[in-house]
Amino acid sequence: MKARVPASSANLGPGFDVLALALNRYVEVEVTEAEHLEVVTTGEGEDLPNDETHLAAQVALKVTGTDRLRIRVHSEIPIGRGLGSSAALAVAAAAAAGADEPLLWGVAVDGHPENSAASCFGGLVAAATVDGKPVWRRLALDPALRFVAAIPDRLLLTRDARGTLDAHTERDDAIFNLGRMGLLIAGLADHRQLVAAAGDDRLHQTARSALFPEAPSLLEGLRRAGAITSFWSGAGTTLVGVCHEDTCEEVRDRAKSLMDEHGVPGDCVTLSADLAGITVAA
């Protein structure tokens, strides 16, 4: 079987470990029977070892209970850039291997459910772990919105980014984030209600900027370039500006110039929400 799964952007500023959005970059995994394990990868991550240590192989072998598999992976999702590559790959591999609930395999790899839920089901989601099980719900998303992603060449692993975070949260900071998350959910449902402050955060972005010092200036620059709001994508290093479809190309061009001005090599692309989530073909 073959499975195609979208990338995801999580947190979206104040929605730390809760909100995620599926985006139109994809990973495809095909799993078929073979005489022995064979892993073939192209695209993003093609330089990773093609053996049983590959994440797609680890998941497929556990789902099927055999290593007599040929696993083909093609990915458009940059690794270690905050676009949910691990969750998407785990979900795709599980689905291609015939798992009944690919979401659970993505959660097992990622440790929390929002990225996997977005990749599985598409659109904008809120997700949480309730009584030990992932629970997700789709949220309204304005179809006029587009997302300018500034994707630096710089790698930032999630475990390193989480290492910068405080173990405890001050009450004022929790209230700050809850209020902004409410504004963000309303604004993503209707761009006319979206305000710049809806992307602000006190739980993770400031702390993680120690690992990516240019990020605050780039986030502010995205807003000056015409983005309605902006925030880190997942643990970074990708930064996202939320735009109306009429202005997104202009914002993208300005954002790329901004990266150049700050000496941050990388790519700047316009992305759309993926509303389909996982697709599977025999």
Q: Supply the CATH number for residue 202's domain.
A: 3.30.70.890
What residues does 73 pair with on adjacent strands? 29, 41
Average pLDDT over residues 181-187: 98
Residue 190 three-state SS: coil
Are 212 and 240 in a shared domain?
Answer: yes
Are 130 and 161 in a shared domain?
Answer: no
Q: Domain residues for 241?
A: 145-271
Are 85 and 182 in a shared domain?
Answer: no
Are 200 and 126 in a shared domain?
Answer: no
* Residue whose token pair is 């120690």: 210
The domain spanning residue 44 has which CATH number? 3.30.230.10
Cis before 237? omega within 30: yes
Are 152 and 267 in a shared domain?
Answer: yes
pLDDT at residue 209, rounded to an integer: 87
Nearest of 55, 78, 75, 59 to residue 9 by alpha carbon: 78
Distances (CA, A) of 186 to 68, 149, 226, 272: 49, 21, 20, 19
- Give the model confidence (pLDDT) of 118-143 as tens digits: 999 999 999 999 999 999 999 999 99
How far apart CA 91 and CA 102 sit, in angstroms, is 5
On whether the CB atoms of residues 7 and 23 are closer than 8 A, the answer is yes
Nearest of 41, 46, 14, 9 to residue 24 by alpha carbon: 9
Are 134 and 149 in a shared domain?
Answer: no
What residues does 280 pair with on adjacent strands? 3
Are 219 and 135 in a shared domain?
Answer: no
Question: Which range (20-24, 156-160, 165-169) has the least confidence?
Answer: 156-160
Are 28 and 128 in a shared domain?
Answer: yes
Are 8 and 54 in a shared domain?
Answer: yes
Main-chain dihedrals φ then ψ at residue 240, nearest 5 degrees: -120, 135
How far apart CA 139 and CA 20 sit, in angstroms, is 10
Residue 13 three-state SS: coil
- Residue 161 pLDDT level (bands cut at 50, 70, 90): low
How far apart CA 195 and CA 175 sit, in angstroms, is 18
Are 133 and 18 in a shared domain?
Answer: yes
- Give the model confidence (pLDDT) of 16-39 as tens digits: 999 999 999 999 999 999 999 999
Are 166 and 126 in a shared domain?
Answer: no
Would the pTM of this model clear 0.75, i.e. be above it? yes
- Residue 236 pLDDT level (bands cut at 50, 70, 90): confident
Q: Does residue 176 register a pLDDT over 90? A: yes
Residue 31 tokens read as 């799993």
On whether the CB atoms of residues 85 and 75 are closer than 8 A, the answer is yes
Overall domain count for the chain: 2
Are 226 and 113 in a shared domain?
Answer: no
| DSSP-derived pairing of the beta strands 145-152 and 239-244 | antiparallel
Question: Which range (76-80, 85-89, 155-159, 270-274) has the least confidence?
Answer: 155-159
* Residue whose token pair is 């479809």: 245
